[in-house]
Amino acid sequence: MKLCCIPVLMVLLAGCGTASRAVHLDTGHSNAIVFTPRSGAESVTLDDDEFERTMAKLARDARSSSRPQEAARRLFEMSARSGAYTYEFSSRRIIPLAPNSQMQGASTEAEVELTRAYLRWCERTGKSGDCLRLLTEGHTLDGDGRFALSMALAKGAVLNEMLEAFKDLTDPHAMVAAVLWTWTTYMVLITVPEPLSKGIAAVMTATLISYVGIDTFWNLIVGFRHLMEEAERATTFSALREAGERYGKIMGSNAARAFAMLAITAIGNTAPGLAKQVPKLPGAMHAAAQAETQMGLRLGAVGEVETVTLSAERLSLSLAPGAVAMAADARGSRRFSQAARNAAYEKSQDATGQAHCEYCDEELTREPGKPQSYEADHRKPYSKGGPSSEENLAPSCRSCNREKGAQELDTDWVPPKNR
């Protein structure tokens, strides 16, 4: 992570607090489908008993690694990244990676003290030593280790529920560490430096949005940015815990449980494997309904999501070529609005006010039932994913419209004027 990139991204993400966000569904055709999420989505409710039962069951198929951070990086195909600052052990100095780094004021003693406090916290949760495997790559808590620890603190009660769910495993903490690192690495990946996710991360994103709704998802991303900043600045354990607990409030326990459930399903899995599991998870029925209202996707189609790009005001999903995964209502009605029909008609008028067919240049009439009657044609056929938007409306004569039918323009059907 390059610190220099953070302020810009944060402004972009923070600036979209209340604006209504669009979801762009790109199926590889020329026009992306623009979908407006319905407001009022809620996190799918998962009660603690059901959550613990599910986690216990999923843990049987997941393997925890002795180096969970490394395993998570491999899972998300991330190259090894250093923290926002580096700790030079020989000189016992912290070397900021950017001149405006927040870490300049922190002392080595604070680092060491923070690490000791973390180890004491482990004792209190029932396991001595580096219980969350935060120190496998460094002697003190580095950037990512701090994010993971603040995330653990954010989870609060859900962390204890996980320990309870894993109590029959040889090392319950190892499984918690695996979930934690999968979750934290995913968050780092989707938050900075390039908000683009592929493969298993893309499937996770589409599923998470189905479980928590797009607004909560967005708040979690913006909140995590703040959490990373606070975690980097923190010099004491209590500062880190306060930051984590603030984030925990944004998240809420239902979202935390959904995250944990998805993270453990992702461990050691592939994108298609994860997508196959998703409809079997608890709460999947509610999530399936929200997949449609939040993204215009069927939950069963999360595996078709190849990449996810987050920007200030929109979320873009690219889907497998040819996979029309949208629910029928994703594009709205098949009919164009009267306003769109009028606007397109007016645009086709020449200087004398005569409207023309876009495909053959014949003069159009608004009188119905004639070969030259004005009809509103989907330039990109509706059946092939074309939206009923003004941009996709071709003013056409009835003859051309009938002849073209559901064929693709120019490839399957060449307009008369271009023949």
Q: Which residues bind Zn ion (CB under 5 A)?
A: 357, 359-360, 362, 397, 400
Closest separation in Å from C-beta 397 to Zn ion: 3
Q: Which is nearer to Zn ion, 116 or 347 (CB)?
A: 347
Closest separation in Å from C-beta 29 to Zn ion: 23
Angle between helices 143-155 and 68-75 (to 10 degrees): 90
117-127: string of b/e by CB count within 10 Å (b at 16+)? bbeebbeebeb
Closest separation in Å from C-beta 414 to Zn ion: 12
Closest separation in Å from C-beta 403 to Zn ion: 8
Closest separation in Å from C-beta 363 to Zn ion: 10
d(CA 275, CA 238) in angstroms, rounded, equals: 39
State the burial class of residue 111 (Cβ atoms within 10 Å of its Cβ: 0-12, 13-18, 19+): buried
Q: Which is nearer to Zn ion, 17 or 371 (CB)?
A: 371
> Which has the closest alpha carbon to 385: 32, 5, 18?
32
Which residues 6+ apart lie within 8 Å of 298 measured at CB?
A: 288, 291, 292, 325, 326, 327
Q: Which is nearer to Zn ion, 130 or 362 (CB)?
A: 362
Closest separation in Å from C-beta 361 to Zn ion: 7
* Residue 88 vs residues 100, 108, 205: alpha-carbon distances, Å: 19, 10, 35
Q: Which is nearer to Zn ion, 309 or 348 (CB)?
A: 348
Q: Which is nearer to Zn ion, 60 or 419 (CB)?
A: 419
Which residues 6+ apart lie within 8 Å of 372 measured at CB?
A: 357, 362, 363, 364, 365, 397, 398, 399
Q: Which is nearer to Zn ion, 211 or 359 (CB)?
A: 359
Q: Which is nearer to Zn ion, 187 or 357 (CB)?
A: 357
CB 318 within 8 A of CB 26: yes
Q: Which is nearer to Zn ion, 336 or 359 (CB)?
A: 359
d(CA 419, CA 417) in angstroms, rounded, equals: 6
Closest separation in Å from C-beta 362 to Zn ion: 5
What is the token pair recorded at 274? 């994860």
Closest separation in Å from C-beta 415 to Zn ion: 8
Measured in degrees and rounded to the nearest 5, phi and psi for residue 133 equal 55, 50
- Residue spans of beta strands (DSSP E) within 20-172: 22-26, 33-35, 85-88, 93-96
DSSP class of 364:
P
Q: What angle do CA 28, 31, 32 make, to 5 degrees?
A: 70
CB 323 within 8 A of CB 31: no
